[in-house]
Structures are given as C-alpha cells and as structure tokens.
C-alpha cells in the first residue's frame, strides 16, 4: 500500500464514504485521543501536577468526552455487528441508532461538564 493519499478527507466524506466512513475516521480519532488521555492519566498518577491540572480543565474534558464517548459507542456497534454477522444487513440503521445514542449521552455529559465549569 502506498503512502501517498490522493483523496482528501473532505472528498472521501462527500463521495462513497459518507456515514460509515465518518464513523470509521471518528473511531480512529477517538482511539488516538484516548491514547493521549491514557498517557496523561499515567503521568498524573506519577504526580505530575500539570497533568492533573489538565485533567481538571473543562476544555480538555469536553474534547476527550466528545471523542472518547464516540469511540466507546461506535466500538459497541462494531462489536455487536462482528459477533452477530446477520445484523450487518442493517448496519446503516445501526449507525443511525448509534448517532442518536451518542447525541443523547454526549449531550448530557457536555451539559454536566459545562454546568460544573460555569456554575448555574
């Protein structure tokens, strides 16, 4: 496989990729974000104060909840479809259900974080 990419992300999203490709690329971004979160967590455990402060930062929490929750919910869909191959016929519906669940859970989580950050 060559290293050169002739199709940009925006072109891929607009072409055949569409919804399934968006979940695919967001899953990878989410996984990479969680790797960073894991590193920050281990450094915070080691007593690095700046990492602990970073974990308490509302913006950091928002970013990692948005991507981390997507990774977790999309991973659940992938696992269910992998372990029940007959459901693959309905994968577009599964993605739609996933988005509804994600919006509800992420929306609630964002509300809690922002309320704690800004009071009220």
Partner 1 sequence: MASRTLSLKKRGFTFEVFMWAFTRFTVIAMYGLILAGILGALSLSAQTGANFGDILYWAFFPNMAENPLGQVWMVILAKLMVIAFVLTACGHGVHGVLEIWDDYVTSENARRWARNIVISYAIVASIIAIYVILSA
Q: Could you list the residues that contact partner 1 (CB under 8 A)?
A: 1-3, 28, 31-32, 34-35, 38-39, 41-42, 44-47, 52, 75-76, 79, 82-83, 85-89, 91
Give the CA dihedral 61, 64, 75, 115, nearest 10 degrees: 30
Find the shortest distance in angstroms from Cβ 45 to partner 1: 4
What gap in Å lies between CA 24 and CA 26, rounded to an integer?
6
* Between 12 and 52, CB nearer to partner 1: 52
Taking the least distance from each CB to partner 1, the nearer of 17 and 31 is 31
Q: Least separation, in Å, of the C-beta of 93 and partner 1? A: 12
CA dist 98 and 22 (Å) reads: 13
Q: Spell out the residues 6+ positions from residue 78 whose beta carbon is closer than 8 angstroms to its own.
A: 27
Q: How far apart are CA 49 and CA 86, in angstroms?
A: 50
CB of 88 to partner 1, least distance (A): 5
Closer to partner 1 by Cβ: residue 63 or 81: 81
Minimum distance of partner 1 from residue 109's CB (angstroms): 13
Q: Within its chain, how far is the Cα of 3 from the centroid?
A: 25
């Amino acid at each position: 496989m060559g290293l050169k990419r002739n199709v940009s992300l925006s072109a891929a999203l607009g072409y055949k990729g569409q919804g399934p490709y968006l979940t695919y690329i967001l899953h990878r971004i989410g996984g990479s974000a969680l790797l960073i979160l894991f590193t920050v967590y281990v450094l915070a455990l080691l007593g690095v104060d700046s990492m602990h402060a970073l974990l308490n930062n509302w913006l950091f929490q928002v970013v990692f909840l948005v991507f981390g929750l997507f990774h977790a919910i999309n991973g659940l869909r992938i696992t269910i479809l992998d372990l029940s191959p007959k459901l693959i016929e309905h994968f577009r519906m599964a993605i739609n259900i996933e988005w509804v669940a994600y919006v509800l859970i992420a929306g609630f989580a964002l509300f809690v974080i922002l309320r704690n950050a800004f009071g009220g």
